[in-house]
Amino acid sequence: MMDFDGLCAYVKVHFPNSFSIGEPMKDHTTFAIGGPADLFVTVREAKALQALLKKARDCDVPYLILGKGSNMLVRDGGIRGLVVHLDERGAQLVTGYELRAGGGVPLSQVSQLAAAHGLGGLTFAIGIPGSLGGAVLMNAGAYGGEMSDVIKEVTFLDENLDFQTAKATDLSYSYRHSYFMDHPGCVIVEAVMELWAQASCEIEAEMADFTKRRKEKQPLEYPSAGSTFKRPPGYYTGPLIRQAGLAGLVMGGAQVSKKHTGFVINREEATARDVLRLIKTIQYKVRSQYGVLLEPEVRIFGEDTDEKRGS
């Protein structure tokens, strides 16, 4: 039986200034959508994270690990149980060519740190809005680069909540996939990236170019979760959606971006239900016209409002 009160009592003692009850998830996702989390705790230290998750398991309380809240959609009823927000601090130069950073550190911050030390390999990540942990998990990438190109090793809590360290070659990396997607009980604590020397002027030019291209081609002026769908083999998602006549399609406060049809945007106080209706409509139209099934890249969490009420 779930002992939510017991977990709350533990949190009040061990995280007295780092928790809240009923925290709106719309304030912690790049989509700016999502109902309340029952219990929301920010954690800085790896050992404290391990202890908190073990306590949650002892209390039979489900938990979700949160970084920057990108690439995710939280349903309108919110999240039952515990949301653990990984603190954003903790990136450092380990050796001349290696960076170590915690799972909660923004990927753009890691990219900037690499640039400051004249290290190449992470310029592609400058505009990706997520955390390092999320990027490691899904093998995030852009403009011809991806995390598997630079990851040397990853430290994580395994499904028994014991600390493990694995080499990148053991993490089953492929397009938008890693070992961790097949083992959702694992929690990425930190990663070491192996980079290479590159002239500062080249790094600055690449980062400026990628930033310019993002601003020109992506609807950065609206909240979103980034690319809504994975790229299907042999196709590009945006053109498929545009050719299906769906550019600008609106459902409630959600819209298919006219600027980049691979993005569903929060145009005007969208609900998760608006977004999910739009996703299903896009999938149906594209499959019926082109025989291509679009698989969501955005990850969906939480409950609908009806489920929360128990009706």
**Catalytic site residue from 75, 80, 100, 176:** 176
Can you read off the two tokens belonging to residue 173? 């990396």
Q: Would you place residue 127 in the very low, low, confident or very high pLDDT band (cuts 50, 70, 90)? A: confident
**Catalytic site residue from 23, 88, 206, 297:** 297
Do 141 and 177 form a contact (C-beta atoms < 8 A)? no
Give the pLDDT confidence score for residue 195 in this predicted structure.
96
Q: Which CATH architecture has domain 237-301?
A: Alpha-Beta Complex (3.90)
Q: Which CATH architecture has domain 91-217?
A: 2-Layer Sandwich (3.30)
**Domain 91-217 identical in fold to domain 237-301:** no
Domain extents in the chain:
4-86, 91-217, 237-301
20: annotated active-site residue: no
**Catalytic site residue from 227, 257, 267, 273:** 227
Give the pLDDT confidence score for residue 94 in this predicted structure.
79
Do 228 and 279 form a contact (C-beta atoms < 8 A)? yes
Question: Cβ contacts of residue 166 below 8 Å, gap of 6+?
Answer: 153, 154, 156, 179
Q: Would you place residue 305 in the very low, low, confident or very high pLDDT band (cuts 50, 70, 90)? A: confident
Partners of 63 in beta bridges: 82
Q: Would you place residue 136 in the very low, low, confident or very high pLDDT band (cuts 50, 70, 90)? A: very high
What percent of the chain is modeled with pLDDT above 90? 88
Residues comprising the chain, all counted: 311
Residue-wise pLDDT for 143-154, tens only, equals: 899 999 999 999
Give the pLDDT confidence score for residue 307 in this predicted structure.
56
**Report field, pTM of the whole predicted structure over 0.75:** yes
309: annotated active-site residue: no
153: annotated active-site residue: no
Q: Write down the CATH number for the domain with range 4-86.
A: 3.30.43.10
SS3 115: helix
Average pLDDT, the chain: 94
Can you read off the two tokens belonging to residue 174? 């492929």
Residue-wise pLDDT for 224-260, tens only, equals: 999 999 999 999 999 999 999 999 999 999 999 999 9
Q: Would you place residue 310 in the very low, low, confident or very high pLDDT band (cuts 50, 70, 90)? A: very low
